[in-house]
Amino acid sequence: MPEGHTLHRLADELRTAFAGRAVASSSPQGRFAAEAARIDGRVLEGAEAWGKHVFVSFADAPEQVHVHLGLYGSFLVTPGVGRPVVGQVRWRLEAASTADLRGPNACELLTPPEVDALIGRLGPDPLRDDADPERAWRRIHRSSVPIAALLMDQAVLAGVGNVYRAEVLFRNEVAPMTAGRRVTRKRWDAMWADLVELMREGVRTGRIDTVRPEHEPEAMGREPRADDHGGEVYVYRREGQSCLVCDTPVRRRVLAGRNLFWCPTCQHRG
DNA sequence: ATTCTATGTCGAA
DNA sequence: TCGACCTAGAATA
């Protein structure tokens, strides 16, 4: 379930489990075998997330392993070593703990210039202290592209995915098809602050919860719902169900190949 | 048993 | 705008 919070959480887990330790590195599936062998036995130095990308570094090695989970990748860290391999494991790290990477969009060794180039293509990440939201604003405020598409553009903002996109638009009452240039500065500032808060909470809890206390089912006299993405949300994947705030049926449309969910009543601002 | 779907991204048409 | 990538679990038959 990879949006930015998942990757920052993963970087934290990898550091906690492996930083400062010599790690066994292998590719049970074989597709990362040659690269994994080059890392084998080295001391893992760090792991860091930029948007939806994770970079793992090793002592005495200039190259870093770049991992991108894509739509269905997973990187599971569990205690203990020597566990039998189940299914397709692209990369396995072992040192007291075991980390199994499956189905990634990318798992590759990158040179320092390649890492810099990749990071250079990314917009500010709300989860990073060094993020500069002004860079995102400069792109947004002179764009005719709908704000819903801009939020998903990793060159504009790094780490926001389909759930945070839908939810931050809802929480700030912004109509998704509003052109970037029609979004006010005040609204953008509020959306950025909201993303920082929501995504930090996501890193803390490992799930995406966006519903404010006053709109929780209990407060609204409704039955609690169990969402299949593991959190509580206003509109994401709630097509046809009534809006938690105004009862209007939640709408869905496909925008740039992705499902966009919104409440046509609550979301009316630019 | 098979088809479908997904919180993502790239490159060709 | 579309298919490809590539995996696991859920839904359908």
Instruction: Give per-10-residue mean pLDDT for chain A (270 aa).
Output: 90 97 95 94 97 96 94 92 90 95 93 93 95 96 94 95 95 96 97 97 93 82 60 90 93 90 92
At residue A38, the pLDDT reads 94
With a 7 Å cutoff on the CB, does A210 touch strand B? no
Query: What is the amino acid identity at position A98?
Result: T
Q: Which domain covers residue A166, as residue numbers?
A: 133-262
At residue A45, the pLDDT reads 97
Of A120, A147, A177, the residue that ends a domain is A120
pLDDT tens digits, one per residue of A70-106: 988 999 999 999 988 888 899 999 999 999 999 999 9
Through-space distance between the first and last CA atoms of chain A, rounded to whole angstroms: 30
Note the CA–C1' distance, A223 to B11, in angstroms. 46
Tell me A268's DSSP state: -
Domain assignment present for A268: no
At residue A174, the pLDDT reads 97
Catalytic option among A3, A48, A94, A167:
A3
The answer on A101 and A38 residing in a single domain is yes
Dihedral of CA A51/A57/A62/A63: which sign?
negative
The answer on A76 and A184 residing in a single domain is no
At residue A257, the pLDDT reads 85
Note the CA–C1' distance, A146 to C7, in angstroms. 32
At residue A130, the pLDDT reads 92
The answer on A143 and A222 residing in a single domain is yes
H helices of A99-132, in order, are 112-120
CATH of the domain at A83: 3.20.190.10
With a 7 Å cutoff on the CB, does A76 touch strand C? no
d(CA A57, CA A80): 22
With a 7 Å cutoff on the CB, does A92 touch strand C? no
Question: Cα dihedral angle (A217, A218, A223, A225), rounded to 10 degrees?
Answer: 50
The answer on A233 and A167 residing in a single domain is yes
d(CA A148, CA A122): 17
With a 7 Å cutoff on the CB, does A152 touch strand B? yes
At residue A93, the pLDDT reads 96
Whole-prediction pTM value?
0.94
- For strand C, the positions having any atom within 7 A of a protein Cβ are 1-3, 5-8
d(CA A184, CA A24): 51
Domain assignment present for A203: yes
The answer on A237 and A214 residing in a single domain is yes
